[in-house]
Structure 1
Amino acid sequence: MTRTFDHRNLAMLLLQAREALMGIFRPILKDYSLTEQQWRILRTLDEAPRNELEAGQIAKLSCILSPSLTGVLERMERDGLIGRERPPADQRKWIVGLTTKSRAMIAQIRPRVDMEYARLEARLGQAVLDDIYCRLDTLIEAVPAAHEPCDHAASALCKETGS
């Protein structure tokens, strides 16, 4: 007897949506010889205060498990994309920051990424895109994150619109 699930596979749908979106952005990353993980780290640092974060924060915000993050950060440091230093108060931690090289790279990539988001917005409409952002923020907040590598806060947009 075959039994079907009562709900669509939301996790699979989200992965398919991610793959569809990344299909737009992968060629940009390829032009700069960046992996998706490297770009997530650069974007996370670019959006952080003073463009620096503790390595554990980067792992959570960029959804990269700590063991993987260590190797990626080592390669990024070797390539001059990030700098790392240990804070005097806690020598067990690493503070990771953008370099002049990575800031320049982000400045070159930003217009291309923004152009793709503008195209997406033109296809979907601003209201639909805003709704997607809000619904994803709501989903992320609603699902217990005890076993998740990601730690997200709701966007200001959702708070402003009351969604």
Structure 2
Amino acid sequence: MATKIIHRNLPQLLLKAREALLSHFRGILTHYGLTEQQWRILRTLHEQGEMEPNQLCQACQILSPSMVGVLTRLQSMGLIRRERATYDHRRIIISMTPASQALVAQIAPLIEAQYRLIEKTIGRDIINQTYAQIDQLLNTPLDQVPSVPLPDQP
């Protein structure tokens, strides 16, 4: 008989929560011709300023091979610039263009309005508690959790 797993599947629950929330924003992004990954990049650049691709990967939780394609599409859409860093010509800096700044200015009020509708429906307290719990989880040293020893393969 197999060992029963007693812990709930936390990664899967977090994915379900992400999808449930993201479904309320997807229509806005689609209306403006953006994918979720493209929006994550534009919002991050809007909030944090220009970045190197590896910094964007980390901030947006997008793997490097995928990031290359997304950045290429954003550049072809005229929404980002790639320039060599003045301090080190081997490095590339990604920044917003006037077109992407205008696009974010159009989308931001809709995103904010959608957040207000979510808060009105489920309550600001739940949203604030969720932010606090997620911040607490992300501020714990999860990288210091040891891995279970794996048995030898037969």
TM-score normalised by length of structure 2:
0.88
2:79 match: 81
Larger mean CA deviation between 10-19 and 67-76 belongs to: 67-76
Separation in 1, partners of 2:97, 2:60: 18
> Secondary structure in 2 aligned to 1:144?
helix
Alignment RMSD: 1.6
Amino acid at match of 2:124: Q
Structure 2 residue aligned with 1:108, among 103, 106, 112? 106
Aligned residues: 144
Normalising by structure 1, report the TM-score.
Answer: 0.83
Offset, 1:53: 1.2
Equivalent in the alignment of 1:52: 50
Q: Matched residues in 1 for 2:139 and 2:21: separation?
A: 22
Q: 1:139 is matched with which residue?
A: 137
Deviation at 1:141, TM superposition (A): 2.0
The 10-residue stretch of structure 1 (20-29 or 119-128) with the greater mean CA deviation from structure 2: 119-128
Letter paired with 1:89: Y
**Which residue type is aligned with residue 45 of structure 1?**
L
Give 1:22 deviation, angstroms.
1.2
Matched, 1:92 2:118: no
* Structure 2 unmatched ranges of 5 or more: 145-154
Please, which runs of 5 or more residues in structure 1 have no aligned partner? 146-163
Runs of 4 or more off by more than 4 Å in structure 1?
A: none
Letter of the aligned partner of 1:144 in structure 2? D
- Identity level (%): 45
Name the CA distance, whole Å, in 1 between partners of 2:90 and 2:40: 24
